[in-house]
Structure 1
Amino acid sequence: MSDKKTTGIWKVISASSMGTMIEWYDFYIFGSLATLLSTKFFPPDNPTAAFLSTLATFAAGFVVRPFGALFFGRLGDLIGRKYTFMVTLLLMGGATFLIGCVPSYETIGFFAPLLVLVLRLLQGLALGGEYGGAATYVAEHSPTDRRGFFTSWIQTTATLGLFISLIVIYITRHSLSKEDFVDWGWRIPFWVSILMILISYVIRKNMHESPVFTKVKEEGKVSTNPLKESFGNKLNFKFVLLALFGATMGQGVVWYTGQFYAMSFIEKTMSIDKDIADNIMLVSLALGTPFFVLFGWLSDKMSRKWIMM
């Protein structure tokens, strides 16, 4: 791989990763503040029910992610990866900013959890399109013998997004009095995301369409009905199910149990101070993140299947 091509791929990875990391930050800020949000957007008379309702609202974003992947994947095939990136970025940033603006349950009653649920669904749709699109975009710029290594950088963005969300919350909480943070300061991490989104938008505006997509489009080989080809063809449908249940579902369960359930368990069940709980998560994330790149690199040397196994 020439120096010019290497420089080009790192620019692609940087631009893609930054935007995806910010979208994960937006998505995870809700989970990182779940304990506090349960007291803001849900009836206060039953704290346990309020907390479970907050987790259910958080989970709603995951339910719609596959639909976001399908919708924005189709949009990416029609108008290109770059412009789809812009749409998902702005949708995610707008939804996150507005969550920080929703009045509390005490102010508007049941409209509070309803509005938050709608915004969480929009976040899920945006992330479903963003994450798959970013991985595809980087893969289409990568040489086949180093595709695992280069796309592995996209996989680190989820961890970095959670990492940054915890840091922003930590800084905000320690910059205000405890009363101010609980009263209104918790909104600041949601509002901060709009600045990150604008920076990422400016960077991504200068990105070029992927060479693979450009070539396919010029040759007129862009799929006219990708959903039918994916789900209507028996062989293709088998690979869809294999990817969903064999490759990603188990990984998803391990990831979210290890991060968010662990965070909830440390705070709620073990009653450990929030600062200590966040420090535990920050250290574990810092130690674990480099292994995404290591195993991505190994997958180029060995086989994807055996790494996943």
Structure 2
Amino acid sequence: MIARDRNWLLIFAVCVALAIAYPFFADGYQLTVIRDALIFGLFAASLDFFWGRTGILCFGHAAFFGIGGYIMALVTLNDAIPFGSLLGIVGAIAGAAFVAAIIGYFLFFGGIRGSYFTIVTLAMGVICQQAAISWSSVTGGDSGLIGIPPIEFDFGGRHVDLSQDLSSYMFVAAIVAVAVLSLWSISRGRWGTVLTAIQDNEVRAAALGHNAPLRLLVTFILSAAIAGLAGALYVCMAGLVAPDLSGLLLSTEVIVWVAVGGRGTLLGPVLGAIFIQRAQQTISSFNPSLWPLLLGCVFVIIVFVLPDGILSIYARLKSLFKGRSQA
């Protein structure tokens, strides 16, 4: 195991330990804040899995988040559907993956890359938001859908109800930890190596026998599926879904979370989302109009001072102390 992997696992273990210990020091409201931030962190990790490994930016990633949220809402609000929570989660994942498969097939096998891919996915996000607004008989229009029940299911002969703050927090934290660790395992294996080769030179990777469009498509589908899962979790915790969840603003914010946390690290975007969400809540409580200005300043500072994101602070400190000890 190389040093970079050991460092990643060490940071991951510390984050898991902090997540487990956090309920002992936080009240119910603080748990819900971090829980929602973790869901957005999962959403950011899903984008980073695609953007960080392929170098291709999806500017409409919130569309998959919104699709997952709306499917979850429609399934759980229908009392005639048994096992609504589980079927809603499965439907959210499958629905987002299906849309990504259709769009990604034409884009990747059509040779669409770079800025053209970014523009097309940007249009996809706008279309999804407008569809949610226009299809009011199903989606509720501008008002969205409210009264979405919390997740509940039977497991091992016991009924699990995630309506409580602690139980919902632990459930979300476990989902995020498993998802991020799984994506990291995929990224550091053969699949991630081939994606890196495609990012460096797609023509050369194809000459070596790798089906680049197919690998990009599968990665895009998996990224969208995780985003759909995050959307499903969020609407059940928030109790509502609205067109803004698939709009341009959220698509822009998730890019900022990934950039602040560190693109290509998977764990960094989760930390970036938590950091930005906490900062937004704290600053907005004093002056709501001040937050957009400060967010822009933070983003510029990160780009110039920490281009690899806040997760690179650990590596910089480690190299600094190592250099001093050698001196």
With the length of structure 1 as denominator, give the TM-score of the two structures: 0.38
Higher normalized helix content (fraction of residues)? 1
